């Protein structure tokens, strides 16, 4: 008998989200209105009252609008760790700017700030550190570098909603912080994202640009009006969040602490378990402060693909987060990034979501143990 599939990731949604959707459907207006306005208020209260929160339709559009709001475009360069979802690179190139692929720290997957500094040119306008696997180890160093070279910092925090940085919620500090609420993130809106900043001007630009550049359209919609006689002075996009999405997000935000506890428990369990195996290395991440979106194991000595297919045969899904962007045709570089390339050969993502049971986690760990024993037997 084959065991049930253990999924790599999934959303925890149900009756509460259905009820929230029904509330919007009852009103009969599904676009951007009161639910989005309220979700933005609730996110502001959650993250920090001195922050501006602008909700959009994806994490990718949050990054795109944030980059554009910094005045970045054709001829400019943005430093990005090469190991990230292609969304970070596409968001920058969507502005016309060039994403500059940088090395990562193999212990954390975070951008290698010394490598990034070497790639600074007169065209460099920003750095986009990615909270890879929800960690942000060298973020302070990123801000030091940014200050030294007068760069904007656009944090790709798609993985890290709900975590703490310097005793404050992720998003409470920093220049611009972008979240994703896609279908499998720490909270979901179905799809969705948010730009968070303390800078009013940046927030204002993002607000207008999410609605095709129609000036002050957000304020109009939030007061139940439409913009008929308006002006547009900058390129905009159709990137706003809908009330349907926001209603799911509001429900998920209320359930976040429940999800976070479970995600942290599972990650701590994996971390502890993997200490038994010298060939299997975890990232240096503190799950007391971080809410993990994905859990990475680095499989040393060339065993990654073998472990991956062994787990697949046990009906356990795994992932490869992520292929380095400088190896993709569109973002190919004429330089190598050997640390990232080596890391990519070792990366394996284990199942992690709030609906995994203790038995599921046990099954994953037991499968890994059996694979290690088989490897040892074959080597003997
Ligand atoms: C690191 C990173 N950045 C950006 C994104 C883009 O977010 P979205 O899928 O909401 O567009 C993702 C999504 O998986 C991501 O993992």
Q: Domain residue spans in the chain? A: 15-102+109-250, 256-379
Q: Is position 339 annotated as part of the catalytic site?
A: no
| Dist. CA 51–CA 200, nearest whole Å | 9
* Pocket mutation for ligand 1, best pick of 87, 185, 249 (most atoms within 8 Å of C-beta): 87
Rounded Cα–Cα distance for residues 285 and 282 (Å): 8
What per-residue confidence (pLDDT) applies to 165?
A: 97
Nearest to 206 by CA among 241, 173, 172: 241
Examine the pLDDT at 129 and tell me if it is beyond 70.
yes
| C-alpha to C-alpha distance for 311 and 324, rounded to whole angstroms | 23
CA distance 193 to 39: 12
Round to whole Å and give the CA distance between 29 and 27: 6
Mutate to test the pocket of ligand 1, among 180, 237, 319 (most ligand atoms within 8 A of CB): 180
Residue percentage of the chain with pLDDT more than 90: 96
Query: 241, 32 in Cβ contact below 8 A?
Result: yes
Find the mean pLDDT for residues 339-349.
98
Element (H, E) at 295: strand 295-299
Cα torsion 162, 47, 182, 59 to 10°: value is -120
How many Å apart are CA 146 and CA 127, to the nearest integer? 7
Q: What is the pLDDT of residues 177-208, one digit of tens each?
A: 999 999 999 999 999 999 999 999 999 999 99
Q: Which pLDDT does position 226 carry in this prediction?
A: 86
- Which SS3 state, helix, strand or coil, does residue 298 take? strand
| Per-residue model confidence (pLDDT) at position 380 | 84
C-alpha–C-alpha distance, residues 181 and 255, integer Å: 14
The pTM of the full predicted model, rounded to 2 decimals, is 0.98
Peptide bond into 141 cis (omega under 30): no
Residue 49 has φ and ψ, to the nearest 5°, of -70, -15
Q: Which two tokens stand for residue 43?
A: 């996110």
What is the average pLDDT across 329-356? 98
CA of 59 to the centre of ligand 1 (A): 5
Q: Whose CA is nearest to atom 14 of ligand 1?
A: 85
| Cβ atoms of 194 and 56 closer than 8 Å | yes
| pLDDT one-digit tens code per residue, 83-113 | 999 999 999 999 999 999 999 999 999 999 9
Where do we find the tokens 């975590």? 163
The mean pLDDT value of the chain amounts to 97
Q: Judge whether residue 286 has pLDDT over 60.
A: yes
In CATH, the number for domain 15-102+109-250 is 3.40.640.10
What would be the CATH architecture of the domain defined by 256-379?
Answer: Alpha-Beta Complex (3.90)
SS3 category, 152:
strand
Ligand 1 centroid, distance to 127 Cα (angstroms): 17
As a whole number, mean pLDDT of residues 163-182 equals: 98
Nearest residue (by CA) to ligand 1, atom 10, is 59
- 379 — pLDDT class (breaks 50, 70, 90): confident
Pocket residues: Cβ below 6 A from ligand 1? 58-60, 84-85, 87-88, 130, 156, 158-159, 180, 182, 193
For 222-250, how does the pLDDT look when each residue is reduced to its tens digit (9 = 90+)? Answer: 998 888 999 999 999 999 999 999 999 99
Number of H helices, E strands in the chain: 12, 12
Task: Examine domains 15-102+109-250 and 256-379 and report if their fold is the same.
Answer: no
Among the listed residues 185, 205, 323, 377, the single catalytic one is 185
Strand partners, 316: 6
Helix (H, G, I), strand (E, B) or coil at 92: helix
How far is the centre of ligand 1, averaged over its atoms, from the C-alpha of 91 (Å)?
10
Compute the distance from residue 89 Cα to the ligand 1 centre, in Å. 10
Is it the case that residue 1 has pLDDT exceeding 70?
A: no
CA of 130, closest atom in ligand 1:
1
């Amino acid at each position: 008998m084959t065991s049930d599939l253990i999924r790599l990731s999934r959303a925890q949604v149900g009756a509460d989200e259905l009820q929230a959707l029904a509330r919007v459907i009852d009103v009969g207006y599904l676009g951007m209105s009161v639910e989005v306005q309220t979700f933005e208020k609730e996110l502001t209260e959650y993250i920090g009252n001195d922050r501006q929160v602008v909700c959009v339709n994806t994490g990718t559009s949050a990054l795109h609008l944030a980059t554009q709001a910094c005045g970045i475009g054709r001829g400019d360069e943005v430093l990005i760790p090469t190991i990230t979802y292609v969304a970070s690179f596409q968001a920058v190139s969507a502005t016309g700017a060039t994403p500059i692929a940088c090395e990562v720290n193999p212990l954390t997957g975070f951008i290698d700030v010394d490598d990034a500094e070497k790639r600074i040119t007169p065209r460099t306008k920003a750095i986009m550190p990615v909270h890879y696997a929800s960690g942000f180890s060298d973020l302070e160093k990123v801000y030091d570098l940014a200050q030294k070279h007068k760069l904007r910092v656009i944090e790709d925090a798609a993985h890290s909603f709900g975590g703490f940085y310097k005793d404050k919620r992720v998003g409470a500090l920093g220049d611009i912080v972008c979240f994703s609420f896609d279908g499998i993130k720490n909270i979901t809106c179905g799809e969705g994202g948010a730009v968070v900043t303390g800078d009013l001007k940046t927030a204002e630009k993002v607000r207008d640009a999410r609605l095709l550049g129609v000036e002050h359209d957000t304020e109009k919609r939030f007061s139940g009006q439409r913009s008929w006689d308006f002006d547009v002075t900058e390129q905009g996009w159709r990137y706003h969040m809908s009330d349907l999405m926001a209603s799911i997000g509001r429900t998920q935000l209320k359930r976040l602490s429940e999800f976070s506890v479970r995600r942290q428990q599972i990650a701590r369990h994996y971390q502890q378990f993997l200490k038994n195996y010298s060939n299997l290395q975890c990232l240096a991440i503190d799950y007391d402060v971080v809410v993990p979106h994905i859990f990475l194991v680095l499989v040393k000595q060339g065993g990654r693909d073998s472990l991956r297919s062994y787990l697949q045969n046990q009906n356990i899904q795994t992932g490869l987060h992520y292929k380095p962007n400088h190896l993709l045709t569109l973002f190919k570089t004429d330089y190598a990034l050997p640390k990232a390339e080596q890391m990519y050969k070792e990366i394996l993502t284990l199942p992690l979501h709030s609906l995994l049971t203790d038995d599921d986690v046990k099954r994953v760990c037991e499968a890994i143990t059996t694979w290690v024993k088989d490897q040892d037997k074959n080597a003997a």
